Amino acid sequence: MHYHSEELVNTLSKKAQAFRMQVLEMVYQAQTGHIGGAFSIAEILTALYFHHLRIDGSPPDLKSNDKVLLSKGHACAMLYTVLAHRGYFPVEELKTFRKLNSRLQGHPECSKLPGIEICAGPLGHGIAIGTGMALAKRMDIEKPSAFTAPSAKASHGNVYVIVGDGEINAGVIWEGAMTAAKYRLGNLTVILDYNGIQQTGATADVMPTEPIAEKWRSFGWWTTEIHGHSVKQVLDALDCADEVHAQPSIIIARTTKGKGVGLFEYDNRWHGQAPNKQQYEEAKKELKNKG
């Protein structure tokens, strides 16, 4: 595991908070979008794109690059923001979010925008797709022995899949999980945004998933649980997952839906609701004060 300085952690934390402000602006101006689930993955995406991923100095589609799949595609406002600030497309284009003919639609489409790996409207497919990508990366360097456990990480990059806790109600999630375990895909890491709230209410009420860590371990995955808004814990967990070579990994990130704005937090109404002017001003002030 690498050492992560306090300066690095503070820098990434401030970026994540600034990205929340950007997403708030985008959703307010469009008067449509998903704030809650976008805010809960701010630190995760920031840690990935601004420190952990191997993507520097290469075109986005280079085989050796790491890949990030946002399976919970409704939270794409945060992914768009991070990609723009990472240089995938102009930051100015964020103003077109959810506008007619914009490349930044309400759910990401991989044919339109650099850095988008999968189309993610219907939930649940990210792990199965990520399993296929991770297996393909291993096959590229280990033919013909791709179906045996590797002794080290594939040099053709790793695959990271971000899923939501409401999303794991879908049966295809667990089909993908079983397949990844069967092929012992050490180059696949899933990050579960476990914020406890989905579109229609608390996940504990809609479809209880605890004990969540034990479930994933029983499926043959290396499993760890972290505080998902601690950049240090996110970075440490990603490093640990990189050291797992003979099984897929899952990082269960316990987060807060709508993190950073009291009005939005723990409230399923903010799963897919845009703020009015007064709510926008209050949220903007709160984010600024915490930034």
What number is the average pLDDT over the span 207-214?
Answer: 97
Q: What pLDDT, in 10s, does the model give residues 85-129?
A: 999 999 999 999 999 999 999 999 998 899 999 999 889 999 999
Q: Rounded to an integer, what distance in angstroms lies between the CA atom of residue 260 and that of residue 262?
A: 7
Q: How confident is the model at residue 149 (pLDDT cuts 50, 70, 90)?
A: low
Residue 147: pLDDT band by 50, 70, 90 thresholds? low
Say whether pLDDT at 189 is over 70. yes
Q: What local confidence, expressed as pLDDT, does residue 152 receive?
A: 47
What is the model's pLDDT at position 156?
75
* pLDDT score, position 79: 98
Which residues are paired to 222 by β-bridges? 249
Query: Is the pLDDT reported for residue 1 higher than 80?
Result: no
Q: Are 118 and 110 in contact (CB under 8 A)?
A: yes
H or E element that contains 192: strand 188-194
What share of the chain has pLDDT > 70, as a percent? 92
Beta carbons of 94 and 81 less than 8 angstroms apart: yes
At 154 the pLDDT is 44
Beta bridge partners of 189: 160, 249
Alpha-carbon distance 202 to 132, whole Å?
A: 31
Domains of the chain with bracketed CATH: 6-290 (3.40.50.970)
What residue type is assigned to position 161 of the chain?
V
Q: Which residue has the higher pLDDT, 243 or 61?
A: 243
Q: Is the pLDDT of residue 181 over 90?
A: yes
Over residues 270-277, the mean pLDDT reads: 96
User: What average pLDDT score do residues 134-139 get?
Assistant: 92
pLDDT for residue 60 is more than 60: no
In this predicted structure, the answer to whether residue 146 has a pLDDT above a threshold of 80 is: no
Q: State how far the Cα of 16 lies from the Cα of 28, in Å rounded to an integer.
A: 18
My answer on whether omega of the bond before 144 falls inside 30° of 0, hence cis, is yes
DSSP class of 32: -
Query: Does pLDDT of 291 surpass 80?
Result: no
Task: Indicate the angle between helix axes 171-182 and 126-142, nearest 10 degrees.
Answer: 20
Concatenate the DSSP letters of all residues of 54-91 into one string: --TTS-TT-TTS-EEEESSGGGHHHHHHHHHHTTSS-G
pLDDT of residue 62: 66
Strand duo 188-194 + 159-164: pairing: parallel
Backbone angles phi, psi at 67, to 5 degrees: -120, 140
